[in-house]
Amino acid sequence: MMMMISRSTFVSIVITLGFLSNMGDSLQFNLESGDAKCISEDVRKDSMSVGKYYIVNPNEGHPLPETHNLTVRVTSPTGTSYHLGDHVSSGQFAFHAMEAGDFLACFWVTEHNPKITVTIDFEWRTGVAAKDWSSIAKKGTVDSMENELKKLQEVITSIHEEMFYLRDREKEMQELNIGTNSTIGWLSILSLCVSLGVAGLQFWHLKTFFQKKKLI
């Protein structure tokens, strides 16, 4: 039996999954020297975003090899640079997004001969997940209950803003679909007119040819 899901329920599920993904564990990936890898994150306007990264030491208990360094750059959808780490083994960034869209965190490992492969541990949090609530609780300025209420209020506010954001994105997609359908409609009419014109010219040409040959 097929289960029907209302639109509001679907939006809630999407938002919940988004929060769970933002609050998940860090990401580890391998990168070969001379190569680059970019990771995108959909960031809302006026939201907080924090991240940290470091090269995993292949020989625990020993200093990190001098060859293990990387360049990291975080940019906005329009190319604005929000962070740049040049030839570093670790780093962190934090910024207040002035625009919405897919932000990119790109990693480059300095080229070596022979090639080496480094493992990078990367964590990127946005929105509510970017706020360090544990440090707020340690300050002792609020008790645990008030801290939980503030956290809950922040989550509700973020969900509210996320729903407006999704609604605006949906409106943009609808306007794009309407514009695309209108363009396709006019192109179809133009194509039909051209086809009819070509068919008419072919008929006139054949008729003229047969008349000259006195076949009709």
Do 114 and 176 lie in one domain? The reply is: no
Instruction: Look at residue 188 in the predicted model and tell me its pLDDT.
Output: 87
**Cα dist. 211→202, 206, 216 in Å?**
14, 9, 6
Same domain, 156 and 53: no
Is the separation of the CB atoms in 41 and 102 below 8 Å? yes
* Residue bearing tokens 């965190």: 105
Q: Tell whether 167 and 126 lie within a shared domain.
A: no
Reading the chain (216 residues) residue by residue, the pLDDT tens digits are 333 334 443 444 344 444 444 444 579 999 998 899 999 999 988 888 899 999 999 888 888 888 888 999 999 999 999 999 999 999 999 888 889 999 999 999 988 888 899 999 999 998 777 666 555 445 444 455 566 667 777 778 878 888 888 888 888 888 888 888 888 888 888 888 888 888 888 888 887 877 777 666
Residue spans of beta strands (DSSP E) within the chain: 27-32, 36-43, 48-55, 70-75, 81-88, 90-96, 101-109, 117-126
Query: SS3 for 117?
Result: strand
Q: Which residues make beta-bridge pairs with 194?
A: none
For residues 127 and 149, membership in a common domain is answered with no
* E strand or H helix at 10: helix 7-22
5, 19, 24, 56, 100 from 13: Cα distances, Å: 10, 10, 16, 35, 21
Asked if 46 and 96 touch (Cβ cutoff 8 Å), the reply is yes
50 secondary structure, DSSP code: E
pTM score, whole prediction:
0.54
Give the CA distances from residue 196 to residues 54, 202, 208, in Å, rounded to whole numbers and listed in that order: 66, 10, 18
Domain that holds residue 210: 144-216
The answer to whether position 177 is within a domain reads: yes
Q: Do 124 and 199 reside in the same domain of the chain?
A: no
Are 121 and 24 members of one domain?
A: yes
What pLDDT score does 85 carry? Answer: 93
The number of folded domains in the chain is: 2
Same domain, residue pair 126 and 27: yes
pLDDT of residue 144: 58
Show Cβ contacts of residue 46 under 8 Å, excluding neighbours closer than 6 positions: 96, 97, 98
Q: What is the pLDDT of residue 28?
A: 92
Same domain, yes or no: 95 and 40: yes
Which pLDDT score, from 0 to 100, does residue 52 have? 93
What tokens appear for 188 in the block?
């179809």
Distance (Å, whole) CA 72 – CA 89: 10
